[in-house]
Structure 1
Amino acid sequence: MAEATDTHAPDQDLVRALRALSNPMRLQLLAWLRDPQSNFSLGGAIADPDEVGVCVTHIQARAGLAQSTVSAYMAELERAGLVRSTRVGKWTHYKRDEQRISELVTALGRTL
């Protein structure tokens, strides 16, 4: 007897996002970025956190992790389409991609 094939394989973008969010710290970073003014000490910020995002230096200070670890976590969130990065001078700033997050939540609802 042949096994039935699943014609509705999970969306790979959704799988990538869920994998990125499976790490508790990456999930926390994304949550903090929802309201940067409340969640980060932005003294000395060189760009508007609501427009451009939060500098990795500020994220690192809040998380209490090494800069390289924070950069790796943010890169994973960016690959998953959950955040966007912008360079301002030599600093990288991260901002949530609200449209993409909304699309992923909708896709998750359809999948489950």
Structure 2
Amino acid sequence: MEPILIFKALSNEKRLMILEWLKDPERHFVRQQHLSENDHFDGGVCVGSIRDKAELVQSVISSYLNMMQNAGLLESKRIGKWTYYRRNEKVIKEFSEYIQRDL
């Protein structure tokens, strides 16, 4: 975990909102049509659904999701022609502990 990358990723309102939405994807997104129980990626949300909710163009949302994944906040899985993202709860917990312990 690199705290500076996480702070940078969270310094943008839309990226912060995406992380908040992905905390409870059933509440914030419609059922993911191309993701079945056999895909084993619980909580995953398709890039298109995130893009639509964030009201951003594809290139911007891809950049945002990539930045958040590089910071460790998100994990992704490609299923067919779709890519799904979900929160990386392990890294988020480590970051929370870092803030409580060191800041």
Q: TM-score, normalised by structure 1?
A: 0.82
User: What are the superposed Cα offsets for residues 28-74 of structure 1, whole Å, 9 maximum, x if unpaired?
Assistant: 000000011110123x6211596161000110111111011111100
2:35 corresponds in structure 1 to: 47
- Give 2:68's aligned amino acid: L
Distance in 2 between the 1:89 and 1:80 partners?
Answer: 25
Aligned to 2:19: 30
1:76 aligns with 67
Larger radius of gyration: 1
Aligned counterparts of 1:41 and 1:65: Cα–Cα separation in 2: 18
Match of 1:14, as an amino acid?
P
Higher relative contact order (CA 8 A, sep 6+): 2
Could you say what the CA RMSD is over the residues aligned between the two structures, in angstroms?
1.8
What is the TM-score with the length of structure 2 in the denominator?
0.89
The alignment partner of 1:47 has SS state of coil
